[in-house]
Structure formats: C-alpha cells, structure tokens
Amino acid sequence: MKSIITSLALAAGLAATPALAKDKLLLKTPVAFSTALPGLGTPIPRVADAVQAMSGGTLKMKVYEPGKLVPAFEILDAVSAGKINSGYTTAGYWAGKIPAAPLFSAVPFGPEAGEYMAWMYYGDGLSLYQRMYDEAGYNVKVLPCAVIAPETSGWFAKEINSPEDLKGLKMRFFGLGGKVMEKLGVATSLLPGGEIFPALEKGAIDATEFSMPAIDQRLGFHKVVKYNYFPGWHQQATVFELLINKDVWNSASEQHQYILTEACKASMADSFAEGEAMQFDALQKNIEENGVQIRKWSPEMLTVFKDTWEEVAAEESANDPFFKEVYENMTTFRNQYDLWEQNAFLPRIN
C-alpha cells in the first residue's frame, strides 16, 4: 500500500522534468529522531523519496541519523549558521533559546492534530511560526513536516495516585509539560531518545515520557518501568519541522520551494495516519506480553495538571511578549473552533 506522500510524489512526478528546475539542490538533512522509530523518524525518509520523485531528480535530500552530522540539540544553530543546509527536528527543543518555540511543537491541554493543522495552515500559526525564527535572529525557513497523535503521559516505576506521589521524582520530560511537572515537585531533564533507556536502567531518572506506545516500545521502556499513564495531557499532538537555511531557500527555484512545501504538507497527513494506525498492536503487546500496567489519570489528577498548566501559561506570557501573542492567537482560534467541535463530533464515551 502506498503512503499518502508517495502517491502524491508519483502523481506529481509524472509531469516533472529536470529541465523545469533552475539548478540541482542537495539538502543534507540531519534528524533529531532515529528513522527506525515509526511515526517519529519514518516521515522524513519518505519526504526525501517524494521530493526526488516530484522534481525528476533535481532536488534530493540525504538524511543523516541522529548525531551523525550534528547533535540533535544543535540542529537549529547549525542550519542557521549554514554549517548544514537543512535539518529535521521539533521546535520544542529550542525552549531555552526561544520561549515561544514549544507552542509550535506541543501544548499541554492543547489542540489535537486536526485542530493544530487548521490553526497552522488556515489560521495565523504558520506566519507566526516563521516570524518567531526571523525575530529571534535565526536564518532559517521553517516548514511543518509531520504531526503525530497523542503521546502517553509517561512511564513510572510506581503508581501515581496523587500530586504528592510526583514530588521528588527525577523524570525525562519534554516541552511546556515539563514546566508543569516542575511546579508539582518533579526534577525534569530533557534527554534525546537514545539516552532515555540507559538513564532509566542506571537510575539516573525514575520515570520518563517520550512518545506514542509503538515508539516507546521500540526504546524498551517497559523493561524497566511498568506503569504507563494516559491520556497524554501534555502532548495531544506534536508537530515536527523541516528547517532550511534561509539563504539556501531563497536561492532555490520556485519549483523546488513548491515541491518542499507540498511534500511536507503531504507528510503532515501521512505521518498522522501512520501514527494512528500502529498503536493498537503496541498497547496489546504491552499488556499481554510485556507486563505493562495501563493506567488512566483520575479526573482529580487531570484537574491538577490543567490548573498548573494555566499557571505556567500565565507566567510564560508575562515573561515573553511573543509567547503571549502566539498563545492568545492560538486560544482565540481554539475558542472559535469550539463551536464547530462541540456540535460536529460525537462525544467520547469512557
């Protein structure tokens, strides 16, 4: 079965000829996530295949596994400086450099994938996303290039029944949700995916969150910690970005710019579909073979997380005007979207 993005590439590629492109372009693209991780790392090789097919071979992308060209957390700086001409990562990794960056990656109690894409493409999200990098002084063009559905809320060595149970834990945590956990007494750290299992095994951390069940399973968290909590309040959807050096982008042909834009847009749909398709088997295997205890947060715990997130959002907005502008813009869009969502969709029945 062809993926959505491959089908688009083949259809477009029928009309593409090398003569249509002004110059040949090779994007050397280090990635922040192993391409062996389904839904997380698999989208970008498919994008690479698509752009080559759609361009008739004048546009190519060479994908480098994490750490092979530059470390995952240095991709933004390296692309901006022109040390590499592109990179695939997520904006949440730049929270220490740009406070608003996590809003373009994952938002606690935030939009699900469909709503996130609606704000990005048909609200102000995409223009704010590019403006963020421009105003922060980064010489990059940003293209949203993948999105995944909700993540698990985390893996713990013991049951968590109250906020007191969180206090003192050392936990790998991503993005704005990490600030929520810190307020609840958790010592958080942000580790790349490949470093999480060794840290759990050695006791450097007590718990972790990372991604969806099928991805977490590949990393083996279930071998060390057995309590897997849901729902992923901190990441109901996660967006991933293709960063291209702005000088390289500006010098690229209009055809190549269009191909990259449309290939990434197709990848948003394709990655979402892939992520949604693979979770059942992983959850079933965790329960039946791996001894994992699936737990759902109580309404009381979700209220604690939500109330604490609202405190964090208010503080971040007070500290950074651009964070405030983006968050208010997203919130306004979501408030309008609510009228549609509340009337159009069936209620979820637990």
CATH number of the domain bearing residue 337: 3.40.190.10
Domain that holds residue 102: 4-148+238-277
- pTM reported for the whole predicted model: 0.92
Instruction: Confirm whether 120 is domain-assigned.
Output: yes
Distance (Å, whole) CA 264 – CA 142: 10
pLDDT of residue 22: 56
Instruction: Confirm whether 282 is domain-assigned.
Output: no
Instruction: Confirm whether 349 is domain-assigned.
Output: no
Q: How many structural domains compose the chain?
A: 2
Res. 137: pLDDT tops 70:
yes
pLDDT (tens digit, 9 = 90+) per residue, 170-223? 999 999 999 999 999 999 999 988 899 999 999 999 999 999 999 999 999 999
pLDDT of residue 66: 95
Residues 66 and 77 in one domain: yes
- Residue 322: CB partners within 8 Å, gap ≥ 6? 99, 100, 132, 135
Distance (Å, whole) CA 129 – CA 63: 24
Instruction: Confirm whether 285 is domain-assigned.
Output: no
Q: pLDDT category, 5, cuts 50, 70, 90? A: low
Instruction: Confirm whether 257 is domain-assigned.
Output: yes
Instruction: Confirm whether 58 is domain-assigned.
Output: yes
14-29 average pLDDT score: 68
Residues 68 and 162 in one domain: no
pLDDT (tens digit, 9 = 90+) per residue, 70-123? 999 999 999 999 999 999 999 999 999 999 999 999 999 999 999 999 999 999
Residues 136 and 174 in one domain: no
Residues 51 and 87 in one domain: yes
Structural contact between residues 142 and 242, judged by C-beta atoms closer than 8 angstroms: yes
Residues 340 and 225 in one domain: yes
pLDDT of residue 319: 98
Residues 164 and 213 in one domain: yes
Tokens standing for 261?
Answer: 């834009």
Residues 298 and 272 in one domain: no
CATH number of the domain bearing residue 244: 3.40.190.170
